[in-house]
Amino acid sequence: MTPADGPFRVGLLGHGTVGGAFAALLAERAEMVGAIVGRPPELVGPLTRSRGAYEEILERSDVVVELIGGTDPAREYILRALRAGRHVVTANKQLLSQHGAELYAAARENGVSLRFEAAVAGVVPVVRVLQETLAVTHVERIHGIVNGTTNYILTEMARTGASYQEALSQAQRLGYAEAEPSEDVNGKDAAAKMAILANLAFGAPVRLDQVPYEGIEHLTPDDMEYAGELGLELKLLGTAERVQGGISVRVHPVFLYPGHPLASVLGPFNAVTIESPTITEVTLSGPGAGGPQTASAVLGDVVSAMVGPPLVLDEPAIQLPVVTEVVSAFYLRLEVADRPGVLAQVAQVLGLQGISVKSVVQKGLGDQARLVMVVHPVAESRFFAAMELIGGLDFMRSAPRAIRVIEEEFL
């Protein structure tokens, strides 16, 4: 570490898109950073695959910025930095969602800050708002669009009628999707971020492997068309909420009613809605990714780590179990043979499972016949059991298709 009257030193691990943008931004904003911290910043490193030695960078740093990504060696590097009494800033959502408890404990035990605004929703300051503004607020639920790639793809599908594959290719051409997009489109990236947010909001440890997720790869232009007809928006939504007996964290496509604060979030943007009885709801939105945006969030954390008190997550006071059984309303589409008694049989199966139908429309004739239904909120296990049964009925022309619906509560 440096003497208190010299510059403060920022050890940089990683020099990819975000690492490079961070180094550039630190240089560009050096004067402003120095004015706030009271000492000018000085970059140490970066550590790359071919250059720099971790031990040396650690030795010379006051705060370590980890932008390598992945769990190994990032986990080891961060733990050693915290144990050596260094503040750490990271954007590593996969690491935090898998080994968060260990890292938060190391920060706590060593009285240093572990900050990670850039790990969730880019420059959207949801981590700070949960940790500081709402630190003493009882948060009931968080809804998030926390993956810009999928939100861009869904926006394009809705806007142009493109297929999933076409919209993905477009996203890749424009740099909104990686060449290897699977963790974005299958929902895993969003699940990692929701695990981190749940941890912050409820003070309960949630790991990525406890978060069920579903992606957008199977969505079709038909789904978009129905969304349009129903006046709904189709989004990949993360949910973290208190439920009877614990908490539930999950990610899946949902139809959102148009007045919902997340329904109007378009393109590669991210947004998070935090609900609490005291505050009703607060929504934060902005660009979800991009090197300069993420670097800006990292730099904000570096300054806060230097001037703030150590910011640590408390040891979980209560163990809130992660509950997998939750209640949802569903949109349901059945491709059926066009003959008498079909609706009666479907209604009977639903009724036996205690599923209450809110609306039903028959569409098309003959080979095009379809039942489109919306059912009232029901335990998901019951609903999927009913889907299983309906899927086995002899008049079904293909597997039933179900998408969750979040309906307006105040109608």
Q: Does the footprint of a second copy cover residue 124 (CB under 8 A)?
A: yes
Residue list 82-121, contact with a second copy (CB under 8 A): 117
Residue list 1-60, contact with a second copy (CB under 8 A): 25, 29, 32-33, 35-36
Q: Does the footprint of a second copy cover residue 135 (CB under 8 A)?
A: yes
Joined together, the tokens standing for residue 396 give: 């079904």
Q: Does the footprint of a second copy cover residue 297 (CB under 8 A)?
A: yes
Binding residue for a second copy, selected from 259, 321, 354, 364, defined by CB under 8 A: 259
Total number of residues binding a second copy (CB under 8 A)? 48
Q: Does the footprint of a second copy cover residue 136 (CB under 8 A)?
A: yes
Cα angle for residues 15, 19, 25 (degrees, 5° grid): 130
Residues contacting 192, CB < 8 A, separation 6+: 93, 94, 96, 97, 98, 208, 211
Question: To the nearest whole angstrom, how small is the minimum distance from the Cβ of residue 170 to a second copy?
Answer: 17
CB atoms near residue 52 (< 10 Å): 16
Q: Does the footprint of a second copy cover residue 261 (CB under 8 A)?
A: yes
Spatial CA neighbour of 66 closest among 136, 4, 115: 115
Strand order through the sheet with 8-13? 41-47, 8-13, 63-66, 87-90, 114-115
Active site residue 193: yes
Binding residue for a second copy, selected from 264, 324, 345, 362, defined by CB under 8 A: 264
Q: Does the footprint of a second copy cover residue 309 (CB under 8 A)?
A: yes
Residue list 314-343, contact with a second copy (CB under 8 A): 314, 317
CB 276 within 8 A of CB 9: no
The region of 218-226, 256-264, 351-359, 379-387 touching a second copy under the rule CB under 8 A is: 256-264
The region of 76-84, 127-135, 149-157, 347-355 touching a second copy under the rule CB under 8 A is: 127-135
Beta strand extents in 29-122 (DSSP E only): 41-47, 63-66, 87-90, 114-115
CB atoms near residue 407 (< 10 Å): 15
Question: To the nearest whole angstrom, how small is the minimum distance from the Cβ of residue 234 to a second copy?
Answer: 17
What is the separation, in whole angstroms, between the first and last Cα of the chain? 59
Distance CA 305, CA 167 (A): 40
Q: Does the footprint of a second copy cover residue 154 (CB under 8 A)?
A: no
Please report, for the chain, how many H helices and E strands are present, in that order. 14, 14
Nearer to a second copy, 53 or 307 (CB): 307
Active-site option among 193, 235, 358, 363: 193
**CA dist 36 → 2, 30, 33, 115, 153 (Å):** 18, 10, 5, 18, 40
Helices (H), 368-410: 380-391
Distance CA 106, CA 104 (A): 5
Joined together, the tokens standing for residue 370 give: 């379809």
The region of 235-243, 291-299, 352-360, 381-389 touching a second copy under the rule CB under 8 A is: 291-299
DSSP string, 158-180: HHH---HHHHHHHHHHTTSS-SS
The region of 56-64, 193-201, 242-250, 292-300 touching a second copy under the rule CB under 8 A is: 292-300
The region of 65-73, 108-116, 133-141, 207-215 touching a second copy under the rule CB under 8 A is: 133-141
Asked if omega into 46 is within 30° of 0 (cis), the reply is: yes
Question: To the nearest whole angstrom, how small is the minimum distance from the Cβ of residue 211 to a second copy?
Answer: 26
The region of 87-95, 184-192, 257-265, 325-333 touching a second copy under the rule CB under 8 A is: 257-265
Q: Does the footprint of a second copy cover residue 282 (CB under 8 A)?
A: yes
What are the backbone dihedrals phi and psi of residue 229, each rounded to the nearest 5 degrees, phi first? -60, -40
Nearer to a second copy, 141 or 207 (CB): 141
Binding residue for a second copy, selected from 14, 125, 253, 400, defined by CB under 8 A: 125
Q: Does the footprint of a second copy cover residue 299 (CB under 8 A)?
A: yes
Nearer to a second copy, 32 or 53 (CB): 32
Binding residue for a second copy, selected from 300, 385, 396, 407, defined by CB under 8 A: 300
Nearer to a second copy, 102 or 281 (CB): 281
Q: Does the footprint of a second copy cover residue 147 (CB under 8 A)?
A: no
Distance CA 46, CA 341 (A): 70
Binding site for a second copy (CB under 8 A): 25, 29, 32-33, 35-36, 117, 123-125, 128-129, 132-137, 259, 261, 264, 266, 271, 278-287, 290, 292-293, 295-297, 299-300, 303-304, 307-309, 314, 317
Catalytic residue IDs: 193
